[in-house]
Structure 1
Amino acid sequence: MTAVATLLDRITGRFTMYRLMTIVLGALLVLALILSASGQLFYSPVALLASAAVAIAVTWGASRLLGLLFRVPVHGESSIITGLLVFFLLLPTAEPVGLAIIGLAALLAAASKFAIAVGGRHLLNPAAAGVFLVTLTGAGAEGWWVATPQMLPLVVIGAILVLWRTRTHLVGLTFMALATVFIVLGLVRFGTDPLVALGQALGSYPIVFLGAFMLSEPLTLPPRRRQQLVVAAVVAVLFALPLFVTISFGTFNLSQAFALLVGNLVAAALAIPVGLTLRYRGSRPVGSDAVEYRFGVSRPPRRAHRPGQYLELQLPGVRGDVRGSRRHLSIVSGPEDPGEVRVAVRVPERPSAFKRALSSMEPGAIARATWVGGDFVLPDDRDAPVVLIAGGIGVTPFVAELGAGRDAVLVVRARSYDELIYRDEIERSGARVVLVSPDTGESLPAGWTRVDELEGALAAVPDIASREAYVSGAPLFVDRSRGALRAAGVKRIRTDRFSGY
C-alpha cells in the first residue's frame, strides 16, 4: 500500500487539482473521439467536437464577462473544467438547436458561480446547476452519456488520480459504494439478476464519474470529513431514489444532477462555505529558506480557522505558472486572532511564478482564500497524548499547538538545528523535541534530543505506543513515518502530505 501511495503522490503531485482535472477530462474526450471513429460510440466525431467546443467556449467566455461585470478574478482552468463537465452531462449533437441548448446550459453554469455564491464562493456545482436549470425549461434533458462500459476503465483511472489529489477518496468511495448498493437493489426489484444489476450500475450509471469529478469538488464540500460523509450519503440516496419512487412536477423530475445539488445545499447548511478576502500585511523569515506571510481577514468567518487546516490561496498577477494561481497551504496561525491568517512556504533559489508573486506582494495588496477547511487538527483535549512527526516545512501545522499544557512530543527532521523552520517558536514553547538530523555541530536547548534516523527518534519516545500520531511532510517522508510508527506499535495515525507548490 505504501508503494502505491508513493506512486500516486509522485504522479498527482506534479499538477494542481485543476490541471489534473483538465487533463483527465480531456483524455476522456479524446477516448470518446477514438471510440466514435471506430464505431463503438453512438455519437459522431463531429457531434462530439461541436458539443465540446460550444460548452467550453460559452463557459469560458461567459465567466470572463461575468468576472469583469462583478469585478472578481476568474480562474480560467476552472471554467474549462465546467465546460467539459457540461459536455459530458448533455447528449452530444451537431444540430444547431441542440448546440444552442448546450450553450444555454454552459451559460447558466457559468452564471451560477456568481449568482449563487456566499463570501465569493459558489454553493452549487456549476455544471450540475446549469444542466438542471436547462431541464427545468423543458428544452433539454440530462444525458450523462459518459456512463458507458467503453468509457469506464479510463473514468476509473481518472477517478483514482483525482480523488487522491484532492484527498477526497473517502468521500468519493463512500458515495460510490452506497450508490452502487442502492442501484443494484433497485434493479433487482424489477427482476434483474444481481450480477447483471451490478454490471449495469457500474457501466451504465454515472456513479464513478459523479463521485470522482463532481461530488469531490472542494469548493462545494463542508470543511470536516464527517460532514462530507453525510453529504455523500445524502447524494447516494437521492441518486438511486428514482428506482424506488416517482416524483415529478411539470418539467421537474428526480435526477442525478438534482441529487448532487441537494448535496451541495446540505453541505452549505452543515457549514456555510468560507471564501475570505485577504489583505497582505507582511512577511518574515522563519528558516534559512522559509518565509511566513501574514494576511488580514476583512470579515472573519463565524468558525475560526485552526492550525493544521489549510486554505486555497489565490494570488493576482501570477503569470507563466503551469500550476495556476492557486495553492493549498497549511495554516500556521491559531484561532485566538481570527482577523489574521499566517502561512509559510519554502522559497528555493528558483521559485515558481506563484512564489515569486507571493514574495513580491506589497502591504495592502488583495488576495483570496477560496477555501478553508481540513481535518488535520489536534484533539481539543490538550491532555490527550500525541506525537507530532514533521519533515521540513511539514512542521507548520504544529507550531501554534506546542506548549500551553499540550501533552505533545515533537519529532522533527531538518538538515541541522540552525535550519530548523520555526526554531525560535519551537524552543520558546518548551515542548519535548527530538531532532532528526545528521548534523551534530550545534548544541541543543535543554530537553532536546538529537538522533540520526527516524527510527531512533521514535525509540527516544518511550510511551510512543500510547500516543496518537500526526505526521506532516513530503509524501515519501509521510509514508516512511507511517511504516515506522506501525512498527513501533502506534495504532492511531493521521497524516498530511505536502505535495509541493
Structure 2
Amino acid sequence: MTRPTPSPAASPAGPLAPARPLSPLRRLDAGLGRVSMYRLVLAALGVVLAVALALVLAATGTLGYPALGIVAVLAVGTLGTLAATWVGGLVTRSRPHVASSLVTGAILALVLLPGTDGRTLAGAAVAGAAAGASKYLLAWRGRHVLNPAAVGLVVVGWTGLATSGWWVGTAALLPAVAVAGGVVAWRTRRVAFVLAYAVPAFVLTAVGYLTLGVAANDALWWALTASPVAFLALFMLTEPLTSPPRRPQRLLVGALVAVLAAAPLFLEWGWLSPELALIVGNAVAFGLGLRRGVRLRLSSATLTGDVLDLHLAPSSPVRALPGQYVEIDVPQAGAAARWDPRGRRRVLSLASDPASGDVRLVTRLSGAEGSEPSPVKRALAALAPGEELRVTSVGGDFLLPSGPVALVGAGIGVTPFLAHLDGVVRGSGAAPGGASGVRHGHDGELAAARDVVLVHGVRTRADVLELPGSAGDALPAGVRLVLVVPPGTAGGVAGGTAASASGGTAGGPDGVGLDGRWEVLEGAVTDAAVLGRAVPDLGARTVLVSGSPASVDALRTAARSLGAARVRTDTFLGY
C-alpha cells in the first residue's frame, strides 16, 4: 500500500544508511507521489484522448470517428460539468473542485459517441450537467456517493439524447488505456480491485458471446478489445471517493460490478448498462465505507524541528482502524495550492486509534533536505486551535495481524505503527479476520495479549514522536519499543541505558524528555545486524515495514536476510 506522505531520505550517517539505489518501481512511486491523484488521472485520460486524436488525424482507419466530434463532445461535456458544479458550489457555499470536473468531462468524451450535431452535443451537455449536479444532489453529508461520470451516462441514456457507445473500448486504444490506466491503478494501489472486476468481466463477456454463437477466437478477442472492461476498471471503478476502504470489500464490489455488467449477455436485461452496474457497486461501497465528510477541529499542534504533530477532534466518529489512512482537504492552503501539482488534499496515516476520539496526524514540513514546505504544509503549520480540516476518504489495509509481529518504521514512516500501538495500549487493537488481539483480565478490564516489537529508526531527537499514553505508564505485556539512533548519539537521546551496535553500552547524559519506555540502540535500522539485535526472533514474526521508498527497499532486504518469510510494506512517498 502506498500513500503520498513525506519521508525524506536520511543522511548517510543516519539510521537509514547505507543508501541503496531505488528499484524501478520505487522510482516510479517517488515520481508519482509528487502529483495529486486528480492531476495524474487527468494526465492519463489526456494521453488516451491524444492517442485517439492522433489515430484519427493520421487517417489510419483504426478509428472511424471525426476528430472534431471528439473535441466537441469533450468541450461541451466538460463545460456542462463545470457549470453544474459551479452552481452546486454556490448553493452549498462550498468551493468547486475544478480538476474533478475536468476528469469527468474527459471520461464522458471517451464513452459518448462523438459527433457535432445538435442532438449529440445536447446529450453531452446533459451528461455533464447531471454528472456535476450529482456531486451535490446525490451526496451524503458532504461526500458524493456515486461516480459522477457514471451518473451522467445513465441520465443521458434515459433521455435518449446521446449513446454510451464506449468507443474507447477498441483494439487501437487498448495499449494507451492499459498503460495510462495501469499507472493510475499502481499509484492508488488498486491493482487487485481492477483485477477483481476485469478478470470475471472478461470471462463472463467471452462466455456470453459464446452462448450467442460467436466463434471462440472472436469471443475472446471481442471481450478483450471491443468492450468497456479495461477503461471502466482502470479509470472509473477505482475512483477513491466511491471505492470501499478495505481490500476484501473492494474484491467483493469488483466481482459484483463484473457480474452485473455482463448480465445482459445472459438475461434479457437490456436496461442494465456497464455504467448502471458501476452505480450499484458504488452504492454497496457507500454502505461499507465512510458515510459522511467528517470535519476535524484542531485541538493542539506541536512543531519539533520540521515534524508537525497535530491532534484534532472529529465532528463525528471516524470509521477507520489503526493502520489505515485518511485523505484530508486543507482549505486554508487557499489559492497557492492551485499552482501545486498535488493540490490541497493530502493522504496521511492515522497516528492514533480512531476509537480514542482523538485524530492524530503527523507530517514533516519539508519534502527533502532544505526544501521549502508546500502550500498545504504551510497551511497546516499555521493552523490555529478551532480551525477545521475535512476528511474526504478513509482507506488502507496496513492492519495489525494476529500472532507475533515486528513493526519497523524509518523516520516519519512510524506513524501507522503509533496507531497500532495506541490500539494495543487501549485494548482495542484488532487483527483482521476477527482476531481481537486482547484478552479479558480477572477484573473485567481489557488487557493486551499481543507479542509486538516496534523498531523506530531516527536521525535526531526531534524525530522521536510522542508515544500513546503517559510516559510513566507501563507497556502492555508482550510489547517492546526499540529506538535506533545514529552511531555515537545514543547517550544524547537515551532516557536510560543505551546499547551500541557493537554490543557495548553508550554513555552520556540522559536525553531530555525522552519516553523511558524506549530501549535505545545505536546503528542503522536498515543494517541487518542492527535489526537482528533489535528483534532477535525476527524470522519467526510477521514483519510490517514503513518508510520512504529507499528505506522500505532496504528494510525488506534486511528482514528477508534474517529469515522473515512474511514482510508487508507501506511506502510513504515524498510531498
TM-score by length of 1: 0.92
The answer for the alignment partner of 1:267 in structure 2 is: 285
The answer for the alignment partner of 1:38 in structure 2 is: 58
The equivalent position to 2:389 in structure 1, one of 367, 377, 387, is 367
* Inter-partner Cα distance in structure 1 for 2:83 and 2:246: 34
Does the CA contact (< 8 Å) of 2:352 and 2:420 recur in 1?
no
Deviation of 1:410 after TM superposition, in Å, equals 1.8
Deviations 1:228-249 (A, max 9, x none): 110000011112111111124x
Deviation of 1:19 after TM superposition, in Å, equals 1.0
Deviation of 1:325 after TM superposition, in Å, equals 0.8
> Is 1:26 the counterpart of 2:74 in the alignment?
no
Does the CA contact (< 8 Å) of 1:315 and 1:367 recur in 2?
yes
Deviation of 1:425 after TM superposition, in Å, equals 5.6
* Inter-partner Cα distance in structure 2 for 1:118 and 1:424: 35
The answer for the alignment partner of 1:313 in structure 2 is: 328
The answer for the alignment partner of 1:298 in structure 2 is: 315
* Inter-partner Cα distance in structure 1 for 2:201 and 2:554: 35
The equivalent position to 1:239 in structure 2, one of 231, 253, 261, is 261
The answer for the alignment partner of 1:413 in structure 2 is: 457
Gaps of 5+ in 1: none
> Is 1:457 the counterpart of 2:457 in the alignment?
no
The answer for the alignment partner of 2:150 in structure 1 is: 128
The equivalent position to 2:345 in structure 1, one of 300, 303, 326, is 326
Cα distance 1:425–1:258, how it changes in 2: closer, same or farther (>3 A)?
closer
The equivalent position to 2:87 in structure 1, one of 42, 46, 65, is 65
The answer for the alignment partner of 1:90 in structure 2 is: 112
The answer for the alignment partner of 1:176 in structure 2 is: 198
The answer for the alignment partner of 1:9 in structure 2 is: 29
Q: Secondary structure at the match of 1:490?
A: coil
Q: Secondary structure at the match of 1:130?
A: helix
Amino acid aligned to 1:19:
R
Q: Secondary structure at the match of 2:276?
A: helix
Amino acid aligned to 1:448:
V
The equivalent position to 1:486 in structure 2, one of 543, 553, 560, is 560
* Inter-partner Cα distance in structure 1 for 2:469 and 2:571: 21
Larger radius of gyration: 2
Deviation of 1:133 after TM superposition, in Å, equals 1.3
Deviation of 1:424 after TM superposition, in Å, equals 5.9
Does the CA contact (< 8 Å) of 1:222 and 1:273 recur in 2?
no
Does the CA contact (< 8 Å) of 1:306 and 1:333 recur in 2?
no
Amino acid aligned to 2:454:
L
Does the CA contact (< 8 Å) of 2:112 and 2:124 recur in 1?
yes
The answer for the alignment partner of 2:550 in structure 1 is: 476
Deviation of 1:254 after TM superposition, in Å, equals 1.4
* Inter-partner Cα distance in structure 1 for 2:455 and 2:252: 35
Does the CA contact (< 8 Å) of 1:116 and 1:123 recur in 2?
yes
The answer for the alignment partner of 1:289 in structure 2 is: 306
Does the CA contact (< 8 Å) of 1:282 and 1:293 recur in 2?
yes
Does the CA contact (< 8 Å) of 1:24 and 1:158 recur in 2?
yes
The answer for the alignment partner of 2:17 in structure 1 is: none
> Is 1:277 the counterpart of 2:295 in the alignment?
yes
Q: Secondary structure at the match of 1:257?
A: helix
* Inter-partner Cα distance in structure 1 for 2:213 and 2:385: 68
The structure with higher relative contact order (CA 8 Å, sep 6+) is: 2
Q: Secondary structure at the match of 2:23?
A: helix
Does the CA contact (< 8 Å) of 1:393 and 1:421 recur in 2?
no
The percentage of counterpart residues that share the same residue type is 40
Does the CA contact (< 8 Å) of 2:414 and 2:546 recur in 1?
yes
* Inter-partner Cα distance in structure 1 for 2:288 and 2:489: 52
Does the CA contact (< 8 Å) of 2:241 and 2:393 recur in 1?
yes
Amino acid aligned to 1:432:
R
Deviations 1:274-314 (A, max 9, x none): 421222333113x432011222211224x3x3332111110
Deviation of 1:472 after TM superposition, in Å, equals 1.1
Amino acid aligned to 2:323:
G
TM-score by length of 2: 0.81
Does the CA contact (< 8 Å) of 1:434 and 1:450 recur in 2?
no
Amino acid aligned to 1:390:
G
Does the CA contact (< 8 Å) of 1:432 and 1:448 recur in 2?
no
Deviation of 1:476 after TM superposition, in Å, equals 2.3
Q: Secondary structure at the match of 1:397?
A: helix
> How many residue pairs are counted as aligned between the two chains?
488
* Inter-partner Cα distance in structure 2 for 1:76 and 1:364: 28
* Inter-partner Cα distance in structure 2 for 1:177 and 1:279: 43
* Inter-partner Cα distance in structure 1 for 2:186 and 2:527: 26
Gaps of 5+ in 2: 1-21, 426-447, 498-518
Q: Pick which of 271-280 and 38-47 moved more.
A: 271-280
* Inter-partner Cα distance in structure 1 for 2:131 and 2:151: 6
Q: Secondary structure at the match of 2:488?
A: coil
Q: Secondary structure at the match of 1:398?
A: helix
Q: Secondary structure at the match of 2:490?
A: coil
> Is 1:346 the counterpart of 2:364 in the alignment?
yes
* Inter-partner Cα distance in structure 1 for 2:470 and 2:457: 15
Amino acid aligned to 1:225:
R
Amino acid aligned to 2:415:
T
Does the CA contact (< 8 Å) of 1:219 and 1:273 recur in 2?
no
Does the CA contact (< 8 Å) of 1:413 and 1:435 recur in 2?
yes
Deviation of 1:4 after TM superposition, in Å, equals 4.2
Q: Pick which of 200-209 and 439-448 moved more.
A: 439-448
